[in-house]
Structure 1
Amino acid sequence: MATAPLKIVMFLGSVREGRLGLRVARFMKKQLEQSNHEVALFDPKEMKFPLIENPVFFYKDRSVLPEWMLTAEKQVKDADAFVIVSAEYNHSIPPALSNMMDYFGASAYSYKPSGIVCYSAGIYGGMRVAMQLRAFLGELGCLSVSNIFGIPEAQKAFDENGTPQNSHMESGAKKLIKQLDWHAHAMRNHRNTAGLP
């Protein structure tokens, strides 16, 4: 029996001018789609989440919220897993990323796995943000899988369209996706059995 495709929300962290993250996100989106996933890309530069005052679920009068934000909330709630594509800002989580993710309550993330894809223009591949993301994602309830896909010198790894420039990128993505899939299928089955959303 064929299983339904996994629904993935991918959060892109950077809003910097000339950001490399869009290359990485385009690549990961294609890799996930080729692996039978439905992917929604949340880009804070395009979606323009205001500086958070209240998360979406705080609003009793939901008519004051823009339609795109209500659609985004539904996509997060319906997701089976999350992929976080992030650089590091001051060796930490980019503020646009945490601001965007904080719009949705922890219950929307709970009992779903996440995968971390970090990158940098230098040789460390953004690993310092990955360590902080582990704690952040754990508190949201979407524990990250053990594999971290770190990409050093991302400007050399992908062209502007997200086309990989060496075979290591595809093999690294596949390792992360394999782990994410296992956890996402298991957790979806358990959520369905327990009657959780």
Structure 2
Amino acid sequence: METPLRLEVIVASVRPGRFAPVVADWFLRTARADDRFDIGVIDLLQTPLPVDLADTPEVAAYRERLSAADAFVVITSEYNHGYPAALKTALDTAKHEWRAKPIAFVGYGGLSGGLRAIEQLRQVVAEVHMVSIRESVSFHQAKRAFDADGETRDGAAVDAAQRLLRQLAWWATHLRTARSADPYPG
């Protein structure tokens, strides 16, 4: 079997009392059932990235993790029709490490289910030369979508997660091969 794809799951919310761990844990259980991936978690609450984008030892370690990854999934809330500021800092802290790699999104929130944040993120990741996976997962009224054990009966989200993982694996496999054979010219 080929080396598993290194997938880094980025948990974007850093707010006190955040709902992100519930959504992230659900997605991680789903993704870990797929043996195509070796999965790590970058929780921005525990990842000290300076907002002035200064180089620090923590930034160097963060960039190394990004560099070693084949693919990314962002778990993002939606605040005021946008994505969290900590995520913008996380994206801007690196440059070459993102290039020619796929990224997918799991959004959650109120009525929009994080979709407005995801659409904004698609524009940003294109500027750092990433491939945005078409399929996304969205939880509308997220706190109502999960039971006390962190499980969901949202069939559309469960199906979307499976499609997202299939598409992500395809892109990650082909882009890893392409980067190895011919480094990205960005």
Work out whether the TM-score is over 0.5: yes
What does 1:9-48 align with in structure 2 at a 5 Å threshold?
Answer: 9-36=8-35, 37-48=37-48
What does 1:28-177 align with in structure 2 at a 5 Å threshold?
Answer: 28-36=27-35, 37-54=37-54, 56=55, 65-66=56-57, 68-105=58-95, 107-120=96-109, 122-159=110-147, 162-177=150-165
Q: What secondary structure sits across from 2:135 in the alignment?
A: strand
- 1:163 Cα offset (Å): 2.9
Amino acid corresponding to residue 46 of structure 2 in structure 1: E
Alpha-carbon distance in structure 1 between the residues aligned to 2:53 and 2:61: 19
Ranges in structure 1 where 5+ consecutive residues have no aligned partner: 57-64
Amino acid corresponding to residue 23 of structure 1 in structure 2: V
Cα-to-partner distance string for 1:107-157 (whole Å, 9 max, x where unaligned): 10111111011111x222111111100001111111211112111122122
Q: What's the % identity of the aligned pairs? A: 28
Q: What secondary structure sits across from 1:146 in the alignment?
A: coil
Q: TM-score, normalised by structure 1?
A: 0.84
What do you get for the CA RMSD once the two structures are aligned? 1.9
Ranges in structure 2 where 5+ consecutive residues have no aligned partner: none
Q: What secondary structure sits across from 2:7 in the alignment?
A: strand
Q: TM-score, normalised by structure 2?
A: 0.89
Is contact 2:59–2:93 with CA below 8 Å preserved after alignment?
no
CA distance change for structure 1 residues 110 and 53 in 2, over 3 Å: closer, same or farther?
Answer: closer
Indicate the residue corresponding to 1:184 in structure 2.
172
Is contact 2:98–2:130 with CA below 8 Å preserved after alignment?
yes
Is contact 2:44–2:86 with CA below 8 Å preserved after alignment?
yes
Amino acid corresponding to residue 114 of structure 2 in structure 1: G
